[in-house]
Chain A
Amino acid sequence: MSEAADRPLLAVPVFPGSNDDRDAVSALERVGARALRVWHDEAELPRATAAVVLPGGFSYGDYLRCGAIARFSPIMRAVGPFAEAGGLVLGICNGFQILTEAGLLPGVLRPNASLSFVCRDVRVRVERSDLPFTARTAVGDELTIPVKHGEGCWFADEALLAELDGNHQIVLRYAAGENPNGAVADVAGVCNEAGNVLGLMPHPEHAVDPLLGSADGAVLLSSLVDAARLSAASLV
């Protein structure tokens, strides 16, 4: 196996105000990827990009609505077609907000019902294990992963929620009593219909070593890197 396929290249776009991009790179490298930070001004993803991870933070100061401005960045004009062509895209926290604003994921992230910033470990339940992001989990697994956000209250109206439930697009839910933000139906993570784009509010990149309190985030990131390795191998 070539080096490129063995250690697939994951691109981590960096927007003005992103602040979890270095943690994302460090966590992805730890689970076997090559990870490259890409400035938002780039109009193209690096050649051989096997997956994209949109990091957490406060892109463009959360002006207007979280993620609403970042979607106009040149790099997002590359991420959109990449996702539409089946490329793997993971959005974490602000990355999730950007993907919903860009129309690549359903729903919207609103201010927490408590109006307070929340920063703590939460338990999330895996609802689907057949995705590139969850292949190393089993349905019903509970993962402990931290959240840290002020606007993580995912919302969809009843009709949209029913449609997403029907399509099995709810991938992660906060475990009973754990919902930190008032999200509808305890939704912590949703995917697109094709299953190649996932957004979640918890931060798997902050939970990759028992020393950090949990290594459960590494399970999700390793799943992604496994899938990226396969897609890189098919590119070679």
Chain B
Amino acid sequence: MRATILVRPKQGILDPQGQAVHDSLRHLGFAVDEARIGRVVDLEVAASDASEARAEVQRMCEQLLANPLIESYEIEFRGQV
């Protein structure tokens, strides 16, 4: 099954990249109030049990894919288990 992980800068964390993109979008004439930039990780996971897979991916996020000091993450699953 496929897991998609969205890693985002936490609320309140300064995101200079997002600010630069926000400024650029405004230069192009788009009415944008805020832009935040994160990261997408697609994983192909071998798992027979959905809750087991979720727990496993959660551990991946905590140990490597996100830095809990500054980033939050969301996990989405697609496909059959």
A residues apposed to B, CB below 8 Å: 64-65, 68, 101, 107-108, 110-115, 155-157, 160, 182
Contacts and interface: CB of A to CB of B under 8 A. Distances in A.
A81 to B, nearest CB: 19
Interface in B60-77: 64-65, 67, 69-70
13 contacts: A64-B64, A68-B64, A68-B67, A101-B67, A107-B69, A108-B69, A111-B16, A112-B16, A113-B14, A113-B16, A114-B16, A115-B17, A155-B13
Q: 4 smallest A-B Cβ distances: which pairs?
A: A108-B69, A115-B16, A113-B16, A108-B67
A236 to B, nearest CB: 39
Contact of B69 (A112, A115, A157): A157
Main secondary structure of the interface of A (DSSP, over half): loop
Contacts, number: 28
Given A64-B64, A68-B64, A110 B17 contact: no
Contacts of B45: none
B70 A111 contact: no
Contacts of B17: 111, 115
Nearest to B19: A115
Interface in B30-81: 64-65, 67, 69-70
Contacts of B16: 111-115, 182
B1 interface: no
Given A115-B16, A115-B17, A156 B67 contact: no
A108 B70 contact: yes
Contact of A110 (B64, B65, B70): B70
A107 B70 CA distance: 9
Contacts of A65: 67
